[in-house]
Amino acid sequence: MGNGETFRIGVLGSGNGSNLIAIAEAIGRGEVPAEIVLVLSDVKEAEILQHAKRMGLMARHIAPGKYRTKLDEEAEKSYSCALQKADVDLVVLAGFMRVLKGELLKSFHGKVINIHPSLLPSFPGLEAWKQALDYGVKHTGATVHFVDQGIDSGAVIAQEPVPLLDGDTPESLLDRIHQAEHHVYPKAIADIAEGRIISKGRRTFRSPT
Ligand code: GRF
C-alpha cells in the first residue's frame, strides 16, 4: 500500500478457522500490516465464524446456493458484493470449500489467494495430505497461490516443505502441514500487503523492499 491506509482483508472459510486465527495473531504481533475487515462462510455453524466473532471481527454466513461444490451465480454475486462494500484489498481463502468461477474472481482479479495442504502442482483437490502419504513422497507441504477458475491451479506465491516421517499417520502429517500453513500464510499476506509480490505470467517474485 505505502500510502498510510490500512490494507483490508476479507477471509472466506468453511471449517475450523485455524488459519484465520494464525493470520489474526500475526496481525496482532505486528507481523502483517493489515486488518481483517470481514469474515464470510458458506457454513452457518462453521467454527471459523465463531472464532471471528470471539475475536471481535465482522462475520457473516452467506448461503452458497444450489450446488454442492461451488457457489451458484447469485451467491457468488452476494459474496462479491459484501467484499466490495467492505472495501477489501485482498480476498483470503482459508479452507473455503467452494470453487469460484464468476463474479468474485472478476471483481477481485489477481486479488484472491488460497492455501493448499501440499506442494502444488502435486496433489491438488481434496485430502492432499492423504494423497501424499498414499503416493509415498518424502516431502509435501503447504502452498499459497493466486486463485483462478481451476482447482488449486493458480500461480504459486509461497511454499513451505514438510517432510514425511516413517511413523506418520494422516493425522500426524496434517498436523505438521497445518503448522507450516500458519507460518507461510501470514508471511505471504504480509508480502502482498507490503507490495513485495511481483507477478510475471505464472511466476511470482518477492522483491526485497
Ligand atoms: C487448510 O488445511 C487449508 O490448507 C485447506 O483447508 C484447511 C483449512 O483449515 N485449504 P482451517 O479452517 O484454516 O483450520
CA pair distance 47, 146, nearest whole angstrom: 25
Q: Does the active-site annotation cover 116?
A: yes
Burial of 4 (0-12, 13-18, 19+ CB in 10 A): exposed
Within a 10 A sphere around the Cβ of 75, how many other Cβ atoms?
A: 21
86 alpha carbon – ligand 1 mean position (Å): 23
Confidence category of residue 79, pLDDT binned at 50, 70, 90: very high
pTM: 0.96
Closest approach atom of ligand 1 to CA 115: 4
Confidence category of residue 2, pLDDT binned at 50, 70, 90: very low
Q: What is the pLDDT of residue 128?
A: 98
| 23 contacts: CB under 8 Å, gap ≥ 6 | 9, 11, 32, 36, 92, 94, 185, 186, 189
127 alpha carbon – ligand 1 mean position (Å): 10
Q: How far are the Cα atoms of 24, 26, 95, 154, 192 from residue 201, in angstroms, in the given order? A: 30, 30, 26, 10, 17
Predicted confidence (pLDDT) at residue 13 exceeds the cutoff of 70: yes
Q: How far are the Cα atoms of 119, 134, 207 from residue 128, in angstroms, in the given order? A: 9, 10, 30
Q: DSSP code of 138? A: S
173 alpha carbon – ligand 1 mean position (Å): 14
For atom 2 of ligand 1, the residue with the nearest CA is 117
Confidence category of residue 3, pLDDT binned at 50, 70, 90: low
Per-residue pLDDT reduced to its tens digit, 133-149: 999 999 999 999 999 99
| 63 contacts: CB under 8 Å, gap ≥ 6 | 42, 75
For atom 14 of ligand 1, the residue with the nearest CA is 18
Per-residue pLDDT reduced to its tens digit, 33-58: 999 999 999 999 999 999 999 999 99
Does residue 179 line the site of ligand 1, with CB under 6 A?
no
Does residue 19 line the site of ligand 1, with CB under 6 A?
yes
175 alpha carbon – ligand 1 mean position (Å): 11
Tell whether the torsion through CA atoms of 23, 24, 30 and 34 is positive or negative.
Answer: positive
Phi, psi of 16 (to 5 degrees): -70, -35
Q: What is the pLDDT of residue 84?
A: 98
Q: Report yes or no: 61 and 44 within 8 Å, Cβ to Cβ.
A: yes
For atom 1 of ligand 1, the residue with the nearest CA is 95
Q: Report yes or no: 199 and 192 within 8 Å, Cβ to Cβ.
A: no
Q: Which residues pair with 146 in a beta bridge?
A: 113
